[in-house]
Amino acid sequence: MAAGTDAIIFKALTDRLLAMPQVLPVAAPNIVFPPAGQQMPAKYLRLAFLPNQTRQITMGNDPQQKRGLLQVSVVWAVGQGIIGALDLADKVIDQFKNQTLFASGVKITISSEPWAAGPLQDGDRVQIPVTIPYIAFEPEN
């Protein structure tokens, strides 16, 4: 179970992503992907968790504001076009926009509408990064 604020935030955001219907396999940070003995899937999602500097909103020991980005890259095989990848990127955006999540006393708000970057080719894959900005407050002790 996640106990640190950043761990709680990452888990809540990942759980929200995995709640999407028909989600593709997910390559999460520091997890072997694909699992041993399996081939790399033609289509999958790759996560990057990018916490930013904590912001002191008030004086004293009040809860601090956490800010950051979750980046979900839609990865597609080259030669498949980008329409399907763009459609999935839009579904990821819809899954997160206007959302507030609660987990272990932490309130996590998607601070603006997520956005997709243009397609990036990397070898035999094309990826479309979707950036999801969040703000959260540490739980009170």
State pLDDT tens for residues 68-122. Answer: 999 999 999 999 889 999 999 999 999 999 999 999 989 999 999 999 999 999 8
Buried b (16+ CB within 10 A) or exposed e, 97-123: eeeebebeebebebeeebebeeeeeee
Question: What is the pLDDT of the chain when averaged over all its residues?
Answer: 91
82 part of a folded domain: yes
Which of 114, 118, 138 lies closest to 126 in space, CA to CA?
118
Please indicate, yes or no, if residue 75 is contained in any of the structural domains.
yes
Residue 141's pLDDT is 58
Give me the percent of the chain exceeding a pLDDT of 70: 91
Range with lowest mean pLDDT among 19-23, 45-49, 67-71: 19-23
pTM here is: 0.90
**Total domains present in the chain:** 1
In a domain, 36, yes or no: no
- Summarised one tens digit per residue, pLDDT across range 55-80 is 776 666 666 889 999 999 999 999 98
Is the backbone peptide bond immediately before 35 cis, with ω within 30 degrees of 0? no
Which tokens hold the place of 75?
């990865």
Residue 63: inside a domain: no
CATH number of the CATH domain containing 89: 3.30.2000.20
Phi, psi of 49 (to 5 degrees): -110, 120
Query: Residue 23: which domain range?
Result: 5-31+41-58+68-137
3-state helix, strand, coil in the chain (%, to 5): 20, 35, 45
